[in-house]
Chains A and B, each alone.
Chain A
Amino acid sequence: AQSVTQLGSHVSVSEGALVLLRCNYSSSVPPYLFWYVQYPNQGLQLLLKYTTGATLVKGINGFEAEFKKSETSFHLTKPSAHMSDAAEYFCAAYSQGGSEKLVFGKGTKLTVNP
């Protein structure tokens, strides 16, 4: 069964610093991959997704992620953190086989320090 692992439940960066949030998936067949962001007391907002094609995916708010099949990774980055980026970030993958079930990682809470 598909699983998604996010390394680091909490990440803290300074404003202006690089943001790197890690995500690894377990499937031997590359799944569709997503990053969502959740601000306090809100639902999930799609940041970006990878289906096929270009492995570097650009999303909203200056975020991007690179699909690396050899490393089964889909890490999320942003060159310069902003205070408004403080939120919880979830990596998710669709299970292969058309079960339409999104499998989520446990989430990484990003803190941005002034």
Chain B
Amino acid sequence: EAGVTQSPTHLIKTRGQQATLRCSPISGHTSVYWYQQALGLGLQFLLWYDEGEERNRGNFPPRFSGRQFPNYSSELNVNALELEDSALYLCASSLNRGSTDTQYFGPGTRLTVL
């Protein structure tokens, strides 16, 4: 069974640009979560999507947004990039909404903002 996949592996952008990160969940999983892992700040919850809807959002500005497609894959968009957005962005998926089910993580996308 394929795990959670993310693309690209690495992404280099300059300040002010936009970044798009992609995630494909485990087959059959409907919930997708995004986390930011910045140096020294640990893992911070960004967004949770389920059945195409945004269900919860962490303490991040509106320039962090995303969506979930009918096939449950997801996209994270970061607009007006700032230097402090440089981080590893992790996507996770789980089987059921509302069940506090186990989240399975992808390998991450390393975003570098210059």
| A residues whose Cβ falls under 8 Å from a Cβ of B | 32, 34, 36, 41-46, 49, 51, 90, 92, 94, 98-107
Contacts and interface: CB of A to CB of B under 8 A. Distances in A.
Contacts of A106: 42
Nearest to A98: B98
21 contacts: A32-B100, A41-B110, A43-B90, A43-B106, A43-B107, A44-B92, A45-B105, A46-B102, A90-B43, A94-B100, A100-B31, A100-B48, A100-B50, A100-B97, A101-B48, A101-B56, A101-B58, A102-B45, A102-B103, A106-B42, A107-B43
Query: Interface size class for chain B?
Result: 20 to 34
Nearest to A106: B42
Majority secondary structure of chain B interface residues (helix, strand, loop or mixed) = strand
Nearest to B41: A106
Nearest to A107: B42
Given A94-B100, A100-B100, A105-B42, A42 B107 contact: yes
Contacts of A90: 43
A99 B56 contact: yes
